[in-house]
Structure 1
Amino acid sequence: VSGIAVNAEHNDYCWMNSSYVLGVKLTDAFSKYGFCTAIRGAEGGGRVDNLPTHFFMSDDGDPDVKCPTEIGITDRREAELGKLGFLPLCH
């Protein structure tokens, strides 16, 4: 698991709109390639690094990790949202 390990509760996070991340990825792609299209996929410029990693104890008493996004989005759901014009931040 990569990211920054934190000891915080769900409500302690500063949740934000993923459009800010999109803006960073667009300007980074433009800076590197001279155009803004290289923003999709982990290898294609869409990877977002240093998201927090939330460790917690599951109901079974085992350590577990929470996704750093509000919800997890599968590859299939990402494709469906993309066809509808959305650009989800997926983990």
Structure 2
Amino acid sequence: EYIRWKAFRETDDARYIGLVMPRVLGRLPYGPDTVPVRSFNYVEQVKGPDHEQYLWTSAAFSFASNMVKSFVNNGWCVQIRGPQAGGAVKDLPIHLYDLGTGNQVKIPSEVMIPETREFEFASLGFIPLSYYKNRDYACFFSANSAQKPALYDTADATANSRINARLPY
């Protein structure tokens, strides 16, 4: 199963590939209560929980922004993970909507990834963006490349392989 994916993960090229997930809200829907359009009266037809009506963008843009910030601050893209060390993605749009039952919230990430799943995705070669519940920010806790770390006879060599499979290194 997934033979081509597994074969790709074994290549040296996979070390330089970062697959970021999930998508994030690109902006709030246009409307008088969210983002008014000044030149004409326009209300974007977003029906609260209807997922497909929102503008979703790749979280890779947020990850790339964090890489640029790290490069500007350090001359190297090493501080790109963790909430205090450059992995935070702040000021994400959160859409509040009312369907007649009180305010509901559309979270700014396509799905909410719990901590345990974040680790699983990271070990499978993905860079997950984890959203903080009831907040307007999220965080990249890991920055693993798509490369699968090699297993060696010694623990030190295997640990070194894991470090080398991370994008900052």
Shorter-chain-normalised TM-score: which range? 0.7 to 0.9
Percent same amino acid among aligned pairs? Answer: 32
2:111 to 36, 51, 71: 71
1:15 maps onto 2:52 in alignment: no
2:88 to 47, 54, 68: 47
Number of aligned residue pairs: give it: 87
**Counterpart amino acid of 2:129?**
L
Tell me by how many angstroms 1:48 deviates: 0.9
Change over 3 Å in CA distance of 1:37–1:65 after alignment to 2: same
Does 33-42 or 6-15 show the bigger shift? 6-15
1:40-91 deviation line (CA, Å, top 9, x unaligned): 12212111112111113478x2323221011100111111111111101221
Corresponding residue number in structure 1 for 2:123: 83
1:87 alignment partner, SS class: strand
Stretches of structure 1 that go unaligned for 5 or more consecutive residues are: none
* CA distance in 1 between partners of 2:67 and 2:57 (Å): 17
* CA distance in 2 between partners of 1:70 and 1:30 (Å): 28
Query: TM-score normalized by structure 2?
Result: 0.45
1:30 maps onto 2:67 in alignment: no
Does 64-73 or 8-17 show the bigger shift? 8-17
Query: TM-score normalized by structure 1?
Result: 0.77
* CA distance in 2 between partners of 1:50 and 1:75 (Å): 21
Preserved CA contact (<8 Å) 1:6 1:52 = no
Change over 3 Å in CA distance of 1:70–1:62 after alignment to 2: same
Q: CA RMSD in A?
A: 2.3
1:2-48 deviation line (CA, Å, top 9, x unaligned): xx784773444321111111111111111111211211122121111
